[in-house]
């Protein structure tokens, strides 16, 4: 089964799924998700789509992100006057 985010990505890449979703009523969203082997319920899927539209990233995307900086590392560079 697909996660809500996996299925969301699939929809983004498929004109056919976009059209099918567009023609799906709110009441039938759960049926649509099950039909396409998505384990999310309608409420979870709506929340994900809303978050994506607002520019938030999914937990799966965040887990795959690289980079970042640990506070201890930052302080050690300042204390030793190591250039950043």
Domain locations along the chain? 4-79
pTM over 0.75: no
Stated as kind and residue range, the H or E segment containing 49 is helix 42-53
- 4-54 pLDDT, tens per residue? 999 999 999 999 999 999 999 989 999 999 999 999 999 999 998 888 877
pLDDT at 73 over 60: no
CA distance linking residue 15 with residue 10, whole number of Å: 10
Question: Given this model, what pLDDT does residue 58 score?
Answer: 61
CA distance linking residue 75 with residue 17, whole number of Å: 49
């Amino acid at each position: 089964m697909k996660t809500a985010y996996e299925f969301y990505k699939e929809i983004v890449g498929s004109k056919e799924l976009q059209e099918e979703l567009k023609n799906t009523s709110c009441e039938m969203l759960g049926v649509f998700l099950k039909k396409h082997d998505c384990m999310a319920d309608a409420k979870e899927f709506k929340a994900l789509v809303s978050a994506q539209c607002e520019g938030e990233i999914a937990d799966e995307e965040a887990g795959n992100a690289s980079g970042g900086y640990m506070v201890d590392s930052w302080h050690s560079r300042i204390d030793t006057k190591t250039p950043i």
